[in-house]
Amino acid sequence: MNRKTIKLDKLPTIRRLPTYLHLLRGLSRKGSEFVSSGHLAEIMGIDSILVRKDFELTGITGTTRVGYSIPDLTRSIEDFLGWGDTQNAFLIGVGQFGSALLGYKDLTNYGLKIVAAFDNDPMKINSSVHGIPVFDIAKMSELLNRLNVRLAVLTLPPEEAQGIANLLVESGIRGIWNFTSAALDVPDCVTTHKEDLISGFAVLSVKMARNTVNE
C-alpha cells in the first residue's frame, strides 16, 4: 500500500508499529530469530489476528508454524515507517519540554536525530543542551538550507508557533512535529502532526475514572 493512500482507520496500526519494533529489537538482542504473532499479541494484550493484519500493512507475511523472521520483520517495519535512514531535524524552543526532548536519546534509535536547537533567549543562545548546540532563531533559515534539514520539532510557546511555522515553510521545511497547542496553517506540501499531550492525559483520566467505578 502506498503511504499516500493510507486512511485514518490505519492510524492505530501505525501507532502500534514502534512498539512492535521495540519488542523485536529486544528479542533480537536475546538471540531469537523468529517470533509468532501469538507471542507478540500476548505481550501487547491484543488479538493475534490484529497483529497479523498490522504486519500485512507493511507488506510482510509470516510462515505457518514458524512465524516471522525477526530481521525481515524489523526491516519491513522500519522501511514502512521511513526509519531505515536517520532523518536530521531542528528543534525550536528550548524550554523545559524542549530540553527534555533533546536529552531523549532513544529518538535516534527510531530514525530521528536532532542536530541543532533554536531559541530567542540570550541566555540559551550559543550554549548546548545534552550536547546539542543552541542557536539564535534568526539563524534558523540559513542553517536549514545549509544542512538540508527538512523536519522541525516545535516546542515553543503556542503564540509563537504560527510565525515560526511560516518561516520554516518559506525556508523549505517539509515536516513539522508540533508539540504546541496551536493549530498550524501550512501549505498542503508540508506535513504536520500535532502531539496533543493534554488529550492524551484526558484519555488516561477517563480510563482511571472508569476503573475506579468498576472496583
pLDDT digits 0-9 by tens, 5-22: 455 557 788 889 999 999
What is the domain class of 3-80 according to CATH?
mainly alpha
DSSP state of 157: -
* Distance, CA of 191 to CA of 89 (rounded, Å): 14
Q: Which residue has the cell 532563531?
A: 137
> How much is the pLDDT for 198?
81
Q: What rounded mean pLDDT belongs to the chain?
A: 90
First to last CA, the chain: 44
Domain with CATH 3.40.50.720 in the chain: 87-198
Region 145-167: mean pLDDT is 94
Domain with CATH 1.10.10.10 in the chain: 3-80
Share of the chain above pLDDT 90, in %: 70
Question: What is the amino acid identity at position 182?
Answer: A
* 59-94 residue pLDDT tens: 998 888 899 999 999 999 999 988 877 889 999 999
> How much is the pLDDT for 3?
43
Fold of 87-198: Rossmann fold (3.40.50)
> How much is the pLDDT for 138?
94
